[in-house]
């Protein structure tokens, strides 16, 4: 399939461009200029391009920035999702729209299945939920793929930040009361490459298996990157503009039923660090 990637310059977008050929797809990496998802003219541009599938990985992902500028957040994450879906509907081709664990409030004791009730705590989460709803309303065949705690080659993310801070400061404080699924962007891209040919729409949860607190994850990053000697102090609260969900691991039931599941997060982290070291 020739697959258009919206937001191709982002960390997931780049992972998709690298990994889709492994699943027999030809990626069309679309970023910037006329590929602004918030501009309704993108629908006609996509229809002219006539891909066999679309993956919308474009988003305003700066969570605190969304809190400060809700209008832009909803334009990109909400309306932008609808534009992708309207193009896919017009073409009659598969659409994967990428979303987030931030649609949940994190007040639960077990991982969220795909049909769990949503209740975003932040503008980012609310705008992404708006995007899910708009995409499914415009094109019910949309595959909404929720993921979490993404990191990938060339991106700015928690894994890289922990290593940078460890080297700069020699000691860290990391929160214990935020729990989720760290997910390697390449693994997510592989799963999306497998999911997109399935003629089944709705919500899917795709993330590396297993969940941890930010504190435990930071310790694992330090251990796996040769920095186990760096002390990490557990913390309860960090001043943040936007409130993240406290306990928001996702459960993959629907994609797993199709045989699509990602490896455990520990194995994914090791694979990422090996790849990143080789660059």
Ligand X SMILES: NC(=O)c1ccc[n+]([C@@H]2O[C@H](COP(=O)([O-])OP(=O)(O)OC[C@H]3O[C@@H](n4cnc5c(N)ncnc54)[C@H](OP(=O)(O)O)[C@@H]3O)[C@@H](O)[C@H]2O)c1
Residues involved in catalysis? 124
- Output 104 or 215, the one with its CB closest to ligand X: 104
Minimum distance from CB of 231 to ligand X (Å)? 26
CB 84 within 8 A of CB 145: no
Strands (E), 193-275: 202-205, 212-213, 232-235
Nearer to ligand X, 150 or 255 (CB): 150
Tokens of 150: 């993404």
Q: What letter would DSSP give residue 78?
A: I
- Output 76 or 172, the one with its CB closest to ligand X: 76
Eight-class DSSP state of 193: H
Task: For the CB of residue 55, give the shortest distance to ligand X in the complex, in Å.
Answer: 10
- For ligand X, give the closer residue by CB, 145 or 260: 145
Binding site for ligand X (CB under 6 A): 6-7, 9-13, 35-38, 57-61, 76, 80, 98, 100, 128, 147-150, 155
Q: Tell how far CA 210 is from the center of its chain.
A: 16
Shortest Cβ distance from residue 229 to ligand X (Å)?
28
How many residues appear in the chain?
Answer: 279
Cβ atoms 9, 36 nearer than 8 A: no
CB of 95 within 8 A of CB of 200?
no
Give me the helices (H) in 176-264, please. 185-195, 214-224, 254-257
- Residue 57's nearest CA partner among 8, 17, 103 is 8
- How crowded is the C-beta side of 50, counted as CA atoms within 13 Å? 1
- Rounded least distance, CB 170 to ligand X, Å: 26
Tell me the C-alpha distance between 84 and 56, whole Å: 7
CB nearer to ligand X: pick between 155 and 234: 155
Read off the DSSP letter of residue 20. G
């Amino acid at each position: 399939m020739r697959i258009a990637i919206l937001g191709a310059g982002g960390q997931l977008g780049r992972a998709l461009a690298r990994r889709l050929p492994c699943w027999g797809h030809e990626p069309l990496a679309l970023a910037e200029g006329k590929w602004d998802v918030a501009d309704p003219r993108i629908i006609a541009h996509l229809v002219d391009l006539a891909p066999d599938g679309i993956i919308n990985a474009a988003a305003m992902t700066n969570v605190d920035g969304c809190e400060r500028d809700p209008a832009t957040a909803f334009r990109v994450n909400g309306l932008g999702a609808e534009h992708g879906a309207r193009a896919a509907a017009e073409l009659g081709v598969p659409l994967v729209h990428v979303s987030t664990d931030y649609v949940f409030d994190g007040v639960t004791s077990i991982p969220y299945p795909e049909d769990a009730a949503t209740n975003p705590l932040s503008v980012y989460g609310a705008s992404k939920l708006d995007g899910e709803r708009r995409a499914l309303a415009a094109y019910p065949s949309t595959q909404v793929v929720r993921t979490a705690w993404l990191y990938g080659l060339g991106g700015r993310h928690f894994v890289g930040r922990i290593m940078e801070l460890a080297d700069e400061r020699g000691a860290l404080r990391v929160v214990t009361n935020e729990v989720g699924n760290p997910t390697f962007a390449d693994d997510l891209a592989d799963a999306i490459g497998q999911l997109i040919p399935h003629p089944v729409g709705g919500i899917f949860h795709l993330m590396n298996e297993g969940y941890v607190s930010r504190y435990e994850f930071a310790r694992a990053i330090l251990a796996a990157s040769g920095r186990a000697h760096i002390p990490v102090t557990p913390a309860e609260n960090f001043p943040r503009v936007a409130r993240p969900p406290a306990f928001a691991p996702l459960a993959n039931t629907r994609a797993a039923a199709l045989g699509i599941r990602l490896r455990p997060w520990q194995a994914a982290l090791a694979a990422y660090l090996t790849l990143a070291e080789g660059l």
